[in-house]
Chain A
Amino acid sequence: MIEFANLLGKLSFNQLPQDPVTAGGAATVVGGVLAVAVALTYFRRWKWLWKEWLTSLDPKRIGVMYIVVAVVMLVRAGVDALMMRAQQATSVGSSHGFLSSNHFQQIFSAHGTIMIFFVAMGLMFGLINLVMPMQIGSRDVAFPFLNSIAFWLFFSGVVLVNLSLVIGSFSAAGWLAYPPLSELRYSPGVGVDYWIWSLEVAGIGSLLSGINFLTTIITMRCKGMSLMKMPMFVWSVMGAMTLVVFAFPILTVTLTLLYLDRTFGMHFFTAGGGGNMMMYVNLIWAWGHPEVYILILPAFGVFSEVVATLSRKRLFGYTSMVWAIWAIVLLSFTVWLHHFFTMGAGADVNGFFGITTMIIAVPTGVKIFNWLFTMYRGRILLATPMWWFIGFIVLFTIGGVAGVLLAIPPVDFQLHNSLFLVAHFHTMIVSGVLFGYFAAVTYWYPKFTGFRLNERLGGYAFWCWLIGFILAFVPLYILGLMGATRRLDHYSASTGWWPLFIVAGIGAGIIAIGLATQILQVIVSIVQRKANQDNTGDPWNGRTLEWSTPSPAPFYNFAITPEVDSRDPFWAMKQARKKNEKHEPLVYQAINLPKNSAIGIYIGIFSFLIGFGAVWHILWLCIVGLIGAVSSLLVRSYTKDTERHISATELKELDHKARTNPKEGYA
């Protein structure tokens, strides 16, 4: 508390990294940032970056930025995973591996936090930004400026997490920071505060995105697109954003209460003083379980699009898919207690939550069967997105069955906090969420770049991921059943676990090769972009509106706002064209699109200052950040000229250019 008055709060030179491992991490972060800065200066790209990307309010640009940041974070948290696997493969018996206990704890906390909040969420919001407005035949989202703020808040969260490598340390209390361990008494450093504030800032960004996308779907669908004509990806986004709106405020409150405990001596979750630490676990999972579905629903939506298009069939059981999504949305708020059956709530409560958990497998099962029936007797194109789907369906079903097993409270008492659980949720999130978003990136890549990704390397990457995944996580199921708990940094040789940890380590290495192959795939595809160019705008013979535009999609999305009268409207249009129905003449109308704005970035910077000040107890910095953020908002509110007008003739010319020479049309 007292430090708040100090000019530098708790900050001092002692907070810089001291031991070689942390120093290595810090050097990587600083080196990476410097390398990017030097490259931008050398290639004279600063202005381009600022004008074309950072200040853009085009959801497609914002979407790409989300995905780039998420991929960088995937590499970072992937390195964390490799370090953990290496530690567990070497720290047996008299050997103690290369990581200290404390450092190991920071690594698994960072791995989980980053993978969920900055990889999965980043990929999700990126894809929604790219695809959803186009699928509903819209030029933009409801609040383009809010979209930019949301991205920059997300980015501030990313910066805070990674800054902890350089200044201070990260939380060593696990990815959900349970008290009393995360209370000041047991975690006196700044690690938990870094964790709190990076999630607080990024979480508010997610909340804003949720409001934005929900409003977009409700109010901006093109003419004729009634709810039951929406593409399944849009439905899944609607479900996920509904969950964001209802779940993220709980996260905001929970993090704030923990911070109040730690900073102002309150007693929400403390062991004494009238606190109740199990309340934290309840609150965090009341957000955390819906969060799982927030991540997976859009991935389900992706698979619904990919499977239908690449099987050349309409999606099987559209209506039941919609109901399954909403059943999952509702049920996801009724299962949170299964994360802590061992709390001791009694047989009745545990029984209730065990049953709801088993019930939620039903709508998920409905979706699995619908996808399989969509493939049945379809003309399946075995391209990379389809491979990701096939990998998903196998692994996800296995992981799901393990989940139903864990839903039985007596079984859970045996397996709670074991590696079996770790294997279960990695199966769900890696095969469900990550494979889904990999499929999505491969599938929609040509729409936003104008060329396809290299198929051969994509296939290699898939097989590395699949085989690597099985090698890395099947041993964990077995180890969990043998009694190995999660978050172990050392174990006795007499347990006989060592060989299985070695196998898991090899698996993680193969996954890393898969990730490297994907990065190589993007580089090779860029180099060979002429050969893989997509001139039609419709490389997969698609069914939904985004494929009706040229590739890369022009900044205005649609020169003429589409009108639809069926599901799979683009497919219907193509069928109608085949029948030689007469074309109506194209009538262009003037449009307005938002101009670039740098204020989103400023708000991101000021929010970062608030977060940094709160972590280090520097009061003046928090005040500067708050005043800055509010003034930025006010400046924006009273800026008049925020829209760019494009006249009908201009639009006609642009559209003509885009259709004849896609590259030039992308102004």
Chain B
Amino acid sequence: MSMTAIVRTDDSKPLLGFWIYIMTDCVLFASLFATYAVLYQNTNGGPDGYQLFNLKSVLAETLVLLTSSFTCGLAMLAAHRGDRRQTILWFVITFLLGVTFLTLEATEFRHFVQMGDSWRRSGFLSAFFTLVGTHGLHITVGLSWMLIMLFEVIHKGLGRITIRRLTMLSMFWHFLDIIWIFIFTIVYLRGAIAP
């Protein structure tokens, strides 16, 4: 018991720092959501969300990402147990789910662009691509980070610093999940309502 207490105080600085970083990222997304809210009706004669969004594929994206959050949680439980194999296994699954999510998103983006509805088309589409794309960029960063951490776990095991880094990574991953819930609601579900 006393051992864990010591570990906690030692890690409190980086973890608090990371919480504050996540708060700043939250403000960043809040600004993008605000931008989207201002521009979503400015379709400039182009399509609006109702015509554009395919809710089925977005639901698939959502389920994939939510599942990845769950498997990320399982990976962290395994890491805290000191079970290296399970940690690696669950992070690999999380990684694959993340890649699936990105692929689905990229397919959607490519489809829009091919139909001539790129970010150049209207204020609405600029805001859409930037908001959803920034989330996708974060997912990409998270996946790269996960790859690096997988190498670290494989080569160095589950030391204190590695666990701390994994904790930050999982915080980041869950945070992106929460942001996606807002994107799903505000962008896609709101967009599905007929104008």
Q: C-beta contact mask, A214-230 vs B, less than 8 Å → 1, else 0?
A: 11001110000000000
Q: Is A283 an interface residue (CB 8 A)?
A: yes
In-complex Cβ contact of A274 among B20, B24, B123, B129 (8 A): B123
Interface size of A by CB at 8 A reads 37
Q: Which residue of A lies closest to B20 (CB)?
A: A211
Q: C-beta contact mask, B1-45 vs A, less than 8 Å → 1, else 0?
A: 000000000001110110011011101100110110011001110
Give me 19 A-to-B residue pairs in the complex whose CB atoms sit less than 8 angstroms apart, sorted by A's number: A142-B13, A215-B17, A245-B20, A245-B23, A249-B31, A250-B27, A257-B35, A265-B119, A266-B119, A266-B120, A268-B123, A274-B42, A274-B43, A274-B122, A274-B123, A275-B39, A279-B39, A283-B31, A286-B31
A274 to B44, CA, bound (A): 5
Q: Which residues 37-91 of B have a CB within 8 angstroms of A?
A: 38-39, 42-44
Q: Is B124 an interface residue (CB 8 A)?
A: yes
Q: Which residues of B contact A254 (CB under 8 A)?
A: 31
- Shortest beta-carbon distance from B113 to chain A in Å: 12
With known contacts A142-B17, A283-B35, A275–B28 Cβ distance under 8 A: no
Q: Which residue of B lies closest to A264 (CB)?
A: B119
Q: Which residues of B contact A252 (CB under 8 A)?
A: 28
Q: Which residues of A contact B31 (CB under 8 A)?
A: 249-250, 253-254, 283, 286
Q: Which residues of A contact B167 (CB under 8 A)?
A: none
A276 to B127, CA, bound (A): 11
Question: Do residues A268 and B126 form an inter-chain contact, with CB atoms below 8 A?
Answer: yes
Question: Do residues A268 and B35 form an inter-chain contact, with CB atoms below 8 A?
Answer: yes
A522 to B2, CA, bound (A): 53
Q: Which residues 225-284 of A have a CB within 8 angstroms of B?
A: 245-246, 248-250, 252-254, 257, 260-261, 264-268, 270, 272-276, 279, 283
Q: Which residue of A lies closest to B25 (CB)?
A: A249
Q: Is B193 an interface residue (CB 8 A)?
A: no
Name, among A253, A260, A286, the residue most crowded by chain B CB atoms within 10 Å (CB to CB): A253
Q: Which 10 A-B pairs have the closest CB atoms?
A: A274-B123, A274-B42, A274-B44, A266-B126, A249-B28, A249-B27, A253-B31, A274-B122, A265-B120, A267-B123
Question: Do residues B27 and A268 form an inter-chain contact, with CB atoms below 8 A?
Answer: no
With known contacts A143-B17, A267-B120, A273–B44 Cβ distance under 8 A: yes
Q: Is B148 an interface residue (CB 8 A)?
A: yes
Apart from A266-B120, A268-B39, A283-B34, list 20 A-B contacts with CB within 8 A: A143-B17, A210-B20, A214-B20, A220-B13, A246-B24, A248-B24, A250-B31, A253-B28, A253-B35, A254-B31, A260-B119, A265-B120, A266-B119, A266-B126, A267-B122, A273-B120, A273-B122, A274-B122, A275-B42, A276-B42
- Shortest beta-carbon distance from A278 to chain B in Å: 9
Q: Which residue of A lies closest to B40 (CB)?
A: A274
Q: C-beta contact mask, A150-182 vs B, less than 8 Å → 1, else 0?
A: 000000000000000000000000000000000
Q: Which residues 183-228 of A have a CB within 8 angstroms of B?
A: 207, 210-212, 214-215, 218-220
Name, among A272, A274, A283, the residue most crowded by chain B CB atoms within 10 Å (CB to CB): A274
Q: Which residues of B contact A257 (CB under 8 A)?
A: 35, 130
Q: Which residues 127-154 of A have a CB within 8 angstroms of B?
A: 142-143
With known contacts A214-B20, A264-B119, A268-B127, A279–B35 Cβ distance under 8 A: yes
Chain A residues at the B interface, C-beta cutoff of 8 Å: 142-143, 207, 210-212, 214-215, 218-220, 245-246, 248-250, 252-254, 257, 260-261, 264-268, 270, 272-276, 279, 283, 286, 634
Q: Which residues of B contact A215 (CB under 8 A)?
A: 13, 16-17, 20
A266 to B121, CA, bound (A): 8
A168 to B43, CA, bound (A): 36
Interface size of B by CB at 8 A reads 31
- Shortest beta-carbon distance from A582 to chain B in Å: 32
A647 to B114, CA, bound (A): 67
Q: Which residues 109-149 of B have a CB within 8 angstroms of A?
A: 119-120, 122-124, 126-127, 129-130, 148
Q: Which residues of A contact B124 (CB under 8 A)?
A: 274
Q: Which residues of A contact B122 (CB under 8 A)?
A: 267, 273-274
- Shortest beta-carbon distance from A87 to chain B in Å: 37
Q: Which residues 148-164 of B have a CB within 8 angstroms of A?
A: 148
Name, among A143, A252, A261, A266, the residue most crowded by chain B CB atoms within 10 Å (CB to CB): A266
Q: Which residues of B contact A250 (CB under 8 A)?
A: 27-28, 31
Q: Which residue of A lies closest to B26 (CB)?
A: A249
A113 to B79, CA, bound (A): 48
A265 to B127, CA, bound (A): 12
A260 to B17, CA, bound (A): 30
A212 to B119, CA, bound (A): 36
- Shortest beta-carbon distance from B160 to chain A in Å: 14
A279 to B23, CA, bound (A): 23
A283 to B32, CA, bound (A): 10
With known contacts A211-B24, A245-B24, A265-B120, A260–B16 Cβ distance under 8 A: no
Q: Which residues of A contact B17 (CB under 8 A)?
A: 142-143, 211-212, 215
Question: Do residues B24 and A276 form an inter-chain contact, with CB atoms below 8 A?
Answer: no
In-complex Cβ contact of B16 among A219, A268, A279 (8 A): A219
Q: Which residues of B contact A286 (CB under 8 A)?
A: 31
Q: Which residues of B contact A210 (CB under 8 A)?
A: 20, 24
Q: Which residue of A lies closest to B120 (CB)?
A: A265
- Shortest beta-carbon distance from B147 to chain A in Å: 12
In-complex Cβ contact of B148 among A219, A261, A266, A634 (8 A): A634
Q: Which residues of B contact A219 (CB under 8 A)?
A: 12-13, 16
A254 to B30, CA, bound (A): 12
Q: Which residues of A contact B120 (CB under 8 A)?
A: 264-267, 273
Q: Which residues of B contact A143 (CB under 8 A)?
A: 13-14, 17
A486 to B20, CA, bound (A): 39
With known contacts A211-B17, A211-B21, A212-B17, A266–B38 Cβ distance under 8 A: no
A306 to B133, CA, bound (A): 49
Q: Which residues of B contact A218 (CB under 8 A)?
A: 16
- Shortest beta-carbon distance from A511 to chain B in Å: 37
- Shortest beta-carbon distance from B162 to chain A in Å: 11
A254 to B34, CA, bound (A): 11
A249 to B28, CA, bound (A): 5
Name, among B27, B32, B42, B120, the residue most crowded by chain A CB atoms within 10 Å (CB to CB): B27
In-complex Cβ contact of A266 among B14, B27, B34, B130 (8 A): B130
Q: Which residues of A contact B34 (CB under 8 A)?
A: 283
A268 to B119, CA, bound (A): 10
- Shortest beta-carbon distance from B91 to chain A in Å: 18
A214 to B127, CA, bound (A): 32
Q: Which residue of B lies closest to A272 (CB)?
A: B44
Q: Which residues of A contact B39 (CB under 8 A)?
A: 268, 274-276, 279
Q: Which residue of A lies closest to B123 (CB)?
A: A274
A212 to B38, CA, bound (A): 33
- Shortest beta-carbon distance from B189 to chain A in Å: 22
With known contacts A254-B31, A264-B120, A274-B44, A249–B126 Cβ distance under 8 A: no
- Shortest beta-carbon distance from A262 to chain B in Å: 12
A265 to B122, CA, bound (A): 10
A257 to B31, CA, bound (A): 11
With known contacts A215-B16, A219-B13, A267-B120, A246–B126 Cβ distance under 8 A: no
- Shortest beta-carbon distance from B117 to chain A in Å: 13
Q: Which residue of B lies closest to A268 (CB)?
A: B126
Question: Do residues B38 and A267 form an inter-chain contact, with CB atoms below 8 A?
Answer: no
Q: Which residues of B contact A283 (CB under 8 A)?
A: 31, 34-35
Q: Which residue of A lies closest to B144 (CB)?
A: A630
Q: Which residue of A lies closest to B126 (CB)?
A: A266
A180 to B124, CA, bound (A): 18
Question: Do residues B123 and A273 form an inter-chain contact, with CB atoms below 8 A?
Answer: yes
Name, among A211, A212, A254, the residue most crowded by chain B CB atoms within 10 Å (CB to CB): A211
A77 to B44, CA, bound (A): 42
